[in-house]
Chains A and B, each alone.
Chain A
Amino acid sequence: MLLSYFICSILIGSFLFINRNKSLNYILIVAFVILQSGFTVYSCFQYNQTELLYFTFDSLGIIMLVTASLITIPAAYHSFVYIETSVEKTNKSRAVYFGALVFLITAVSGAYLANHIAVVWFFTEITTLSASALIYHHRNKLALEGTWKYIFICAISITLVFIGILFLSLSNYGNEDLSFKSLLEHVKSMNYEWLRMAFLFIFTGFTAKLGLFPMFTAGVDAKDKAPGPAAGLLSSIIMAMGFTAIFRTYILVVNSPIASWANTVIGIAALISIFISTVYMIKVKNIKRMMAYSSVEHMGIVMLGIAAGGIGYYASILHIVLHSLVKSSLFFQYNQLYEVYKTKNIYQIGNYFKYNPTGAIVILLAFISVTAMPPSGLFVSEFLIFRSLFESNNMLVLIVVLVLLSFIIWSFAKNVFKMLFIPVVEFDESQVKPINPMRSLSQFILLATAAYLGLNPPAIFVDLINSSISVLPH
């Protein structure tokens, strides 16, 4: 079934690329969404099976796959609305956009399920290619700049990951199998100096996808320039892919003597990321960049949970899932915001409640969710991460992070409340078209799912997360 999933997706993507007929394109996209959902349902019944030698339906993969498929459905819908309401639509740009979308989601699904580090690497490269086609959608100067930066930094990062894989094979000399299971079995007999270098390079390389210091800059520019639904996907499922890759490498490292060194490295990178995102969020005036830096901050919090350990492992995976749902809903709402105001500048957006009350409620609820205030599900996961920092005797780190988060909440609140309530000067109301409130339905569903999963998670969800962290030392 996995092979047929890949073949069908590649066929659908290729047909989307070469075919310029509008209705056929939409039929193909609907077919892909059905294929993706069907494949996800199938994979839930294949727990811990291995298919095609390199793909295992383990618990982490299933959690991420279900989240990604949940987000795919509104992403396809909002892409359809976006393409149809945009001014400069051509048949070619629509075809390229949807084709790249299909390839992106397929590659991400493959990366979640891969059990061999080289296969993860390969699918990450495919996501770079498809994401750059999405970012370049508008084909103007700024989009070109964003795409070039994204491609260049991701190419260097992929090369760094490859070097890490080479060092990993050196540390595991004599055993040719680089699948995660085999590496975990041999971790006691590895050469730890090479493992150190391997982890350093692999971690640095995948931070381009995860959105952490040092390679987060590509992602921020990319989310700024990509169309809203594409930016939502970049901000949710791609970051989850970076997390999955780093997490699977971390499982190896934490079962070896270099565990505390690795935790220090991850902790430093996470702390610097939160600090940088604080600085930029206070300064930034472009709403999409603000949301992009907020993603960087959340990834910093997730990696702090990983570095701290204990309950932090559980909380990090929970946080990634919830953050994907919430951040994508924000980006999906962004397109309606842009339709009303035709600008991304926060100073020129205001009194959103008047023009689109449903959308304004979405932004308000999403703000409460993203800043992790109760009753948002993210409150639970962030609270558990703070608890893990406290329990692992990192009080200073905890205090610094709490102070920085206060700054972030303040600047986020300042901007969001300005957008929602304070009318902007010199705004021409006659140009505003009424927006169908049904377009906000998907975001309500995503936010409600995030709250439900955080506050009252179903037992199967908890069990899946617990089994994916079972190999980590508690």
Chain B
Amino acid sequence: MIDVILLIFLMSLFYLSIANRLATYIKVLSVQGILLFIVAFYELKDINLLNLIFILLETIVFKAVAVPLFLKQVLERNKITREAEPYVPNFVSLLITTAIIVITIIISNNMEDVHLDKMFFVVALSTLFCGLYLIASRRKIITHVMGYVLIENGVFVLSLAVGSEMPMLVNLGIMLDIFASVLLLGVFLNKIGDVFKDVDVSNLTNLKDD
């Protein structure tokens, strides 16, 4: 059952690589939040109830609702155009995402470990590298933030894999989520929107060595 959910999560990565509009990115991140909620519920059934409720709340409220809503508000407030502007054509992005997932599967096959479900490892690491790729291949600053949220989702999947033994790590990961996403990116993304008129990475190249 969990494997199916994780497979759907992996498919959302493919969809993310070819999506054209920023609104689609936000919807996919929201769907990923809901999938993570289901996975968290199944994986962490054995831990302390209070902790479990906290983690589930965080997944649903934060990942599925709050962050996508906040990103949508940033989009509207700064009048960012609908297109996600990639540096490479969407087909190349799809190929690279496929390559990332294949390489992760090969790496996970080399790691013989009874303690970690291979599916979790593949999904977590592919999400991480796809998030890094998303950051590197898109022109807009808001897509950098979305790539970071994707990396956070990947880290959450990985922490769920070890979470039943050490719930403290899952809590730490959530704290990282909240800290980094809201305080840092939220505060500064709006400031950047206020200062730079078109929210383009090429505006951030003034600190050069000349």
Give A contacts to B, CB under 8 Å.
Answer: 118, 121-122, 125, 128-129, 132, 141-142, 144-149, 151-152, 155-156, 158-159, 162-163, 165-166, 169-170, 173, 176, 191, 193-194, 221, 224-225, 280, 283-286, 289
Distance in Å: Cβ of B29 to nearest Cβ of chain A:
16
Knowing A145-B206, A283-B209, say if A159 contacts B191 (CB, 8 Å).
no
- Give Cα distance in the complex from A128 to B188, angstroms: 14
Partner of B155, one of A162, A176, A194, A285: A162
Size bracket, chain B contacts: 35 or more
Pairwise interchain contact B209-A155, C-beta atoms closer than 8 A? no
CB distance from A18 to the nearest CB of B (A): 17
Decide: B195 and A155 in contact? CB cutoff 8 A. Answer: no
Q: Which residues of A contact B141 (CB under 8 A)?
A: 148
A146, A166, A284, most chain B CB atoms within 10 A: A166
Q: List the count of A-B residue pairs having beta carbons below 8 Å apart.
A: 100
Asked whether B148 is an interface residue with its Cβ less than 8 Å from the other chain, the reply is yes
| Cα(A250)–Cα(B11), bound, Å | 38
- Cα distance, A280 to B165, chains bound together (Å): 47
Q: For the complex, give the distance between the alpha carbons of A53 and B84 in Å.
A: 48
Q: How far is the CA of A280 from the CA of B209 in the complex (A)?
A: 8
Instruction: Give per-residue flags for B145-173: 1 if the beta carbon is below 8 A from chain A beta carbons, else 0.
Output: 00010011001001101100110110011
Q: How far is the CB of B80 from chain A (nearest CB, A)?
A: 16
Query: 27 A-B contacts, Cβ less than 8 Å apart?
Result: A125-B180, A129-B184, A142-B207, A144-B188, A144-B192, A145-B203, A147-B188, A148-B141, A155-B180, A155-B184, A159-B152, A159-B180, A163-B128, A166-B159, A166-B161, A166-B169, A169-B162, A169-B169, A170-B113, A170-B115, A173-B115, A173-B165, A193-B113, A283-B209, A285-B209, A285-B210, A286-B210
Given A118-B172, A169-B166, A194-B111, 6 other A-B residues pairs in contact with their CB atoms under 8 A: A121-B172, A132-B184, A152-B144, A156-B151, A159-B151, A289-B209
Question: Nearest A residue to B168 by beta-carbon distance?
Answer: A118
Q: Look across to chain B and name the residue whose beta carbon is closest to the beta carbon of A193.
A: B111
Known: A145-B207, A169-B166, A191-B113. A155 touches B185 (CB 8 A): yes
Query: Given contacts A159-B176, A162-B172, are A176 and B195 in contact (CB under 8 A)?
Result: no
* Chain B nearest CB, measured from A358 CB (Å): 30
User: How many angstroms from the CA of A64 to the CA of B32 in the assembled complex?
Assistant: 43
Report which residue of A122, A149, A155 has the largest number of chain B beta carbons within 10 angstroms of its beta carbon: A155
CB of B155 to closest CB in A, whole Å: 6
B178-209, CB under 8 A of A: which get 1 and which 0? 01100111001001100110000001101101
A179 to nearest B CB, angstroms? Answer: 13
C-alpha gap A330/B190 in the complex (Å): 35
What per-residue 1/0 map shows which CB atoms of B42-60 lie under 8 Å from chain A?
A: 0000000000000000000
* Residues of chain A contacted by B92 (CB below 8 angstroms): none
Q: B5 interface residue, CB < 8 Å from A?
A: no
B167 to A: closest C-beta gap in Å: 10
Given contacts A152-B148, A194-B113, A280-B209, contact A166 B180 (CB under 8 A): no
* Bound: A334/B191 CA distance, A: 29
Q: Which residue of B has the minimal Cβ distance to A140? A: B195
Q: Which residues of A contact B152 (CB under 8 A)?
A: 159
Any A CB within 8 A of the CB of B106: no
